[in-house]
Structure 1
């Protein structure tokens, strides 16, 4: 009997060596998890090698894991391998992978980047990127040509994150072959080779296997096959340029550089905490306080931590936001009555305010409902939300063993009929009254202290972009438009498989 079954958690029988890693019959995780939940219930377990994974769709347990008992689930999934699957020590310690006190320190340093004040100052930069998108769409509209708006959104969000986070203009919207964009895209498109996954089955042998894994990674970097290494060159160039010219910019990279330069300055810095409710787009600024954590004063970021965190923001900033925008565009075409209702709200807002900015677009309540319902129906991140148990955790008649990984499937959480009436029906009106929505049942950006730090940034970028787009164009189907969109389930995300083809009609 396996350790999970001894603790009351049912699931498929694992292979002695690789667990259940290769028993998914080449099905995407989302499809296999549907079978698991149907057969074993909302709390079940499987194995990656010898590592127990507890798959959860029980909302009460999720709330305990992410919020109430967060202290026992403060870290994300670990594979028990030195420096992870891609063993470059420079790329191993970042906001997503960091654990315990170090994660708290990083989060403290990076939080101010996404305050309401920072987002307002970023508006001209974001708007300049959107204007390039509008110009490209205008060229297609004048010729009456269809185009893949999902690709346009990918290039837009890459441009936005490069400029706002790194202060770099790569002209990627006019150059889809930009090597840094292609590297970031490769991160999400590629699946880890099976021989690499096998390393996770033998964590106790990693002391012997690590030199081999490191050698393979070095070869990949030298031959230009490592996306993180390619993007790191862009970050190092930006850092060296600022150091050489003694210039400062108002962006994420500068915040991290300043933190690295003066630990005393970080210790004495005052910042506002951000209170966030996904169902209420207001941002509440709480009383400023000295930056501290439970382990004492904040420790500055190392140079390597600056670079890898910048890489993480660059990669995440383009993929998930562009995917959300792609699915929203699909919805607006499939349901033209919804598009017209959003557009009328946008037009009314502009007639009243005469501009689109942080304060005005956050008044678009129906657009927010459409965004929320799209993120519920098509959560860009499907199975990435994980936590690790620090100690054995007792819940009802089961025990989640220490050092187990707890995984959430947002696709199933967002389509759970126990919390969503008619979950397969697209209905933005369900978000009109936030009191009807359990925030644990709806979490496209995660929940609790380890939720997505860039949530407000992503929502603002989406609303500003959609406002400027719908104020000028009506999106209609073209010859290649899929009214029932096909979806690709990748390792972390789900995306439109064949793009989102549209025509833009000038208003």
Structure 2
């Protein structure tokens, strides 16, 4: 902690962050206001909404990611995965290096448009698809889910792909684990939602990838809603923006 008095923002060491910010939600449920937001955007945007408005939006959006909804979306996701695997196979057969991130971004946007808006854009086969081009410019509240999910998901996939490519032993171990839980038959050679849930090592691998390469290391911040005292440290005044150092949290050996 800095010995200087707080002004309008501060950084918390990892132990204080985990001990206070998450566990005492009532004191730190507001977010930093984004300066360039228009008033109507600030009120409706999940990532800048405050207090009860944020709570209501979170309540409305949460069911979108329930296990039942995800299970129903599986056929759409699998359709996009099949298109991705076809493109990667084609690139592999060319025998030349290629940027997998480009294909992962198209795959992610294709999946979001399909699951979120019911549109089959086929943008993986058409990199000049107007949906793909325009989607990268969209940041209005109603498309917030798409804009945020696009970059974070594709980047996470790129990082775990990098880890697989640079750690062949882990790649083999993960493949063997998946094969032990997946038994294709003549009717269906795609893993079911239930089968994927049983792949514990796959889940561990992806989580560790996000641990090593956090996607949004500086985004998490909270604004104190009232004066809050940290024992043996000092008082954080109401209205102070507390920014979380994600890298310190992820690489702290004591956590």
Regarding TM over 0.5, the answer is: yes
Which of 387, 399, 423 does residue 235 from structure 2 map onto?
399
Paired position in structure 1 for 2:60: 109
1:350 shift after superposition: 1.8
Q: Deviations over 1:14-70 (max 9, x none)?
A: xxxxxxxxxxxxxxxxxxxxxxxxxxxxxx96xxxxx62111123244332122x21
Paired position in structure 1 for 2:156: 324
Alignment pair present for 1:65 and 2:21: yes
Distance 1:112 1:120 in 2: 13
Could you say which structure has the greater relative contact order, defined with CA pairs below 8 angstroms and 6 or more residues apart?
Answer: 2
1:172 partner SS: coil
Check 1:323–1:368 CA distance in 2 against 1; reply closer, same or farther (3 A cut): same
Distance 2:44 2:129 in 1: 27
Whether the 8 Å contact between 1:78 and 1:388 is mirrored in structure 2 is: no
Check 1:352–1:168 CA distance in 2 against 1; reply closer, same or farther (3 A cut): closer
Which of 31, 41, 56 does residue 12 from structure 2 map onto?
56
1:412 shift after superposition: 1.8
Alignment pair present for 1:133 and 2:89: no
Which of 91, 105, 120 does residue 169 from structure 1 map onto?
120
Paired position in structure 1 for 2:194: 359
Paired position in structure 1 for 2:225: 390
2:22 partner SS: helix
Structure 1 or 2: more strand by fraction: 1
Check 1:143–1:352 CA distance in 2 against 1; reply closer, same or farther (3 A cut): closer
Alignment pair present for 1:74 and 2:45: no
Q: Deviations over 1:435-458 (max 9, x none)?
A: xxxxxxxxxxxxxxxxxxxxxxxx
1:399 shift after superposition: 0.8
Paired position in structure 1 for 2:143: 311
1:362 shift after superposition: 1.5
Distance 1:327 1:163 in 2: 24
Alignment pair present for 1:344 and 2:179: no
1:316 shift after superposition: 1.1
Check 1:176–1:63 CA distance in 2 against 1; reply closer, same or farther (3 A cut): farther
Paired position in structure 2 for 1:150: 101
Check 1:62–1:121 CA distance in 2 against 1; reply closer, same or farther (3 A cut): same
Distance 1:74 1:88 in 2: 20
Q: Normalising by structure 1, what TM-score?
A: 0.47
1:71 partner SS: helix
Gaps of 5+ in 1: 1-7, 12-43, 46-50, 186-226, 233-307, 420-507
Structure 1 or 2: more helix by fraction: 2
Higher Cα radius of gyration: 1
Paired position in structure 1 for 2:166: 334
Distance 2:41 2:49 in 1: 13
Gaps of 5+ in 2: none
Check 1:88–1:115 CA distance in 2 against 1; reply closer, same or farther (3 A cut): same
Q: Normalising by structure 2, what TM-score?
A: 0.89
1:174 shift after superposition: 2.1
Paired position in structure 2 for 1:124: 75
Distance 1:352 1:163 in 2: 25
CA RMSD of aligned residues (A): 2.3
**Higher mean C-alpha deviation, range 404-413 or range 174-183:** 174-183
